[in-house]
Amino acid sequence: MSATTGRPDVQLRATTGRRQFLNDRDDFVAEALEGFALAHPQLVSLHRDPDFVRRAPAGRRPGKVALVSGGGSGHEPLHTGFVGVGMLDAAVPGRVFTSPTALQVAAATRAVNTGAGVLHVVKNYTGDVLNFRIAAELATDDGVAVDQVLVEDDLATDPAVTGLDDGPGRRGTAAVVVVEKVCGAAAEEGAGLADLVALGRRTAQRSRTLSIALTAPTHPGERLPSFDLPEDEVEFGVGIHGERGVGRRAFSTAADLAEQLVTPVADAIEVQRGDAVLALVNGLGSTHPLELSVVFREVVRVLEARGVRVVRSLVGSPVTALDMAGVSVTLVPADDEVVRLWDAPARTAALTW
Amino acid sequence: MVTPRRPPRRTTVAAPERLELLQDGTPVPPVRGGRAADLDATRVRAWWLGFSEQVRHRSEELTELDRLAGDGDFGHNLRAAVRGADARLDRTRPGDVAGVFDAVTLAFLDTGGTSGPLLGMWFREFSRHGGQTLSTEGLADAARAGLDTVQRLGGAQLGDKTMVDAMAPAADALRDAATASVPVVAALGAAYRAAADGARGTEGLRARRGRASYVGDVARGVVDPGALAIAWFFERGTVV
């Protein structure tokens, strides 16, 4: 009870910070995984200890190269939401914003291996890269053929921009969805491990993303966001872990903010007049679909002004940073192969066509 | 009348071989073949439990060092990993050296982050090079292979202010000991001294890898907690 008001403290606190639906912060991810599996029994099964989500038996394909991805939790629906026919065979979630352990990844890798090999799709973060590499070595020692595609699309952390030549390089962000989609479709068609690696790397290396945050996210069980942002500013060049961006810029109209994202990304992937792209407008957790549609309209406007055609798109929130308000724009050059694989059927919790 | 002669009573208080190492609450029996013999599973388990106890009691020191130079989670993570290893050892009761280090390896590979899994891959080489027993030669091979693995996966060079700065001199010391056919406990003593010197040497270094690299010169004057933990590990091997 508060001494000054006589009301329960929890009600007072509730007016000063974010409230969340949770029981116990230590069980938050595990309970969410259970709920996810309960919601999609026809698509996925949940393996416990070590924890990973894999396709339900009906979606498994003998002789197919298996795709495994994973990373810290807090980016949902990534990666669990993309487990299913046409995309991933397993997703391995760590604690919030923490890489899964090597044993988790190795167990998932062994579980989904059909004998045709396993492709790891990894976002470029030190912990993810290390634990997936170790898992690959453990699985390889058990006779599983494993190879990796590293997704490193975040333009804000490009060494050419930051000047850090011996740093960890560009972070992996929303382009991972495109890599999982095209490689997943190719694997379903029967592509071999080496071909999938080449396709994945080609796609990842040609993708770039840039993000803006309007508010920082709040960790499960915390009351306050991870950083404060003045009303008249936006955080430019953020990643997907609630960290600060590379700089602050003036808050402005959707048209103005979208242009600040699209133009550097289009420059970076060197699209020319007449080229076709796949555009992904991704909400970072608590940005409304109406806002995302407004941003997408501006993305198309800017690209059309450059003579670039948006031939495929995804507008939604597939790669989130908890409840961060913000948006990322990803562009991928769309050749015939990318378009065909993007259009191929997928049946997952977060993406189905 | 002849008084039977008794051997003179030994007055030494605590010869190293008489140190009581508690294992599950009971003293470890005297070492068969003497302390110069290769390490068997019982002694390696005692070595591990000594290290584990050290980490449990002194993890705050590691956390404090890491708080000054990294993100402050190293002590906590190491403690969680050794607890996991102890639990696995209790559960599996391995009968050979390879099995003891395998339990340790799995526990460390079951922790997130970067230093835990790297240590797991280091211990994995001790499992691979330790069969039924562990000789000085086996230790030297394990320490070299472990160092190579950690450097390959983590990318750290000597002088980057990481655990490598203790692992590398320890590996050199063990190689020298193997060449000179030094008994295994003495070899561990040499590894400890080399690792401790290496850990002390990290104090003056600027971090170029690991979390400490993000804070730059702030980390100068702070011993790297990973390197210190490696020195502790070899130190506990000198009393089994």
Note whether B206 and B220 are within 8 A (CB): yes
Find tokens 């068997």 and name the residue: B40
The 10s digit of each residue's pLDDT in A173-205 is 999 999 999 999 999 999 999 999 999 999 999
Q: Is B26 helix (H, G, I), strand (E, B) or coil?
A: strand
Question: Are A102 and B154 a contacting pair at CB < 8 A?
Answer: no
Question: Are B112 and A103 a contacting pair at CB < 8 A?
Answer: no
Angstrom distance (rounded) from CA A77 to CA A90: 13
pLDDT reported for residue B13 = 33
Number of DSSP helices (H) and strands (E) in chain B, helices first:
8, 2
Distance between A94 CA and the closest CA of chain B, angstroms: 8
Q: Which residues pair with A326 in a beta bridge?
A: A213
Clarify whether A47 is annotated catalytic: no
Question: Are B110 and A127 a contacting pair at CB < 8 A?
Answer: no
pLDDT reported for residue B211 = 55
pLDDT reported for residue B221 = 81
Distance between A138 CA and the closest CA of chain B, angstroms: 10
ipTM of this complex prediction, to 2 decimal places: 0.83
User: For residue A140, which residues of chain B lie inside 8 Å, CB to CB?
Assistant: none
Check whether B213 has a pLDDT greater than 80.
no
Torsion angle, alpha carbons of B193, B194, B195, B197, to 10: 80
pLDDT reported for residue B97 = 97
Question: Are B117 and A94 a contacting pair at CB < 8 A?
Answer: no
Name the least confident of A45-49, A282-286, B33-37: B33-37
Question: Are B120 and A134 a contacting pair at CB < 8 A?
Answer: yes
Mean pLDDT, residues B213-224 taken together: 72
pLDDT reported for residue B74 = 84
The 10s digit of each residue's pLDDT in A37-57 is 999 999 999 999 999 999 999
pLDDT reported for residue A166 = 74
Q: What percent of chain B has pLDDT over 70?
A: 80
pLDDT reported for residue A8 = 46
User: For residue A124, which residues of chain B lie inside 8 Å, CB to CB?
Assistant: none
Check whether B4 has a pLDDT greater than 70.
no
The 10s digit of each residue's pLDDT in B152-195 is 999 899 999 999 999 999 999 999 999 999 999 999 999 999 99
Check whether A275 has a pLDDT greater than 50.
yes
User: Among the options A47, A79, A120, A241, which is catalytic?
Assistant: A241
Angstrom distance (rounded) from CA B238 to CA B131: 20
Mean pLDDT, residues B208-229 taken together: 75
Clarify whether A219 is annotated catalytic: no
Check whether B7 has a pLDDT greater than 60.
no
CA distances B67 to A227, B62, B63, B76, B200, Å, are 20, 8, 6, 11, 17
- Nearest Cβ partner for A131 among B106, B117, B208: B117
Question: In the structure, what pLDDT confidence band is assigned to residue A140 with cuts at 50, 70 and 90?
Answer: very high
Number of DSSP helices (H) and strands (E) in chain A, helices first:
10, 14
Check whether A114 has a pLDDT greater than 90.
yes
- Nearest Cβ partner for B112 among A98, A138, A166: A98
Note whether A262 and A274 are within 8 A (CB): no
Q: How many CB atoms lie within 10 A of CB B221?
A: 11
Question: Are B114 and A133 a contacting pair at CB < 8 A?
Answer: no
- Nearest Cβ partner for A127 among B109, B112, B153: B112
The residues near B150 (Cβ < 8 Å, ≥ 6 apart) are B118, B121, B122, B156, B163, B164, B167
Q: Are strands A90-96 and A66-73 parallel, antiparallel or unpaired?
A: parallel
Position with higher pLDDT, B166 vs B26: B166
Q: Which residue of chain B is at minimal alpha-carbon distance from A107? A: B110
pLDDT reported for residue A329 = 98
Question: In the structure, what pLDDT confidence band is assigned to residue B32 with cuts at 50, 70 and 90?
Answer: low
Question: Are A102 and B109 a contacting pair at CB < 8 A?
Answer: yes
Question: Are A130 and B118 a contacting pair at CB < 8 A?
Answer: yes
Check whether A4 has a pLDDT greater than 70.
no
The residues near A216 (Cβ < 8 Å, ≥ 6 apart) are A225, A226, A227, A228, A229, A235, A242, A324
User: For residue B120, which residues of chain A lie inside 8 Å, CB to CB?
Assistant: 102, 134
pLDDT reported for residue A188 = 98
pLDDT reported for residue B182 = 94
pLDDT reported for residue B209 = 67
Question: Nearest 5 degrees, angle CA A138-CA A31-CA A352?
Answer: 75
Average pLDDT value over all residues in chain A: 93
Chain B touched by A58 (CB under 8 Å): no
Check whether B89 has a pLDDT greater than 50.
yes
pLDDT reported for residue B10 = 39
Distance between A62 CA and the closest CA of chain B, angstroms: 29
Note whether A83 and A43 are within 8 A (CB): yes
The 10s digit of each residue's pLDDT in A293-344 is 999 999 999 999 999 999 999 999 999 999 999 999 999 999 999 999 999 9
Q: Is B203 helix (H, G, I), strand (E, B) or coil?
A: helix
User: For residue A126, which residues of chain B lie inside 8 Å, CB to CB?
Assistant: 114
E strand or H helix at B230: helix B225-237
pLDDT reported for residue B83 = 95
Question: In the structure, what pLDDT confidence band is assigned to residue B215 with cuts at 50, 70 and 90?
Answer: low
Check whether B34 has a pLDDT greater than 80.
no
The segment with the largest mean pLDDT, out of A127-136, A156-165, A239-248, is: A127-136
CA A276 to chain centre: 23
pLDDT reported for residue A221 = 86
Question: In the structure, what pLDDT confidence band is assigned to residue A5 with cuts at 50, 70 and 90?
Answer: very low
Q: Which residue of chain B is at minimal alpha-carbon distance from A166? A: B208
Q: What is the 3-state secondary structure (H, E, C) of A206-267?
A: CCEEEEEEEECCCCCCCCCCCCCCCCCEEEECCCCCCCCCCEEEECCCHHHHHHHHHHHHHH
User: Among the options A40, A47, A75, A219, which is catalytic?
Assistant: A75
pLDDT reported for residue A17 = 67
Chain A touched by B154 (CB under 8 Å): yes
- Nearest Cβ partner for B112 among A101, A137, A166: A101
What residues of chain B, 117 to 146, have a C-beta less than 8 Å from chain A? 117-118, 120-121
Q: Which residue of chain A is at minimal alpha-carbon distance from B107? A: A103
pLDDT reported for residue B210 = 63
The 10s digit of each residue's pLDDT in A96-112 is 999 999 999 999 999 99
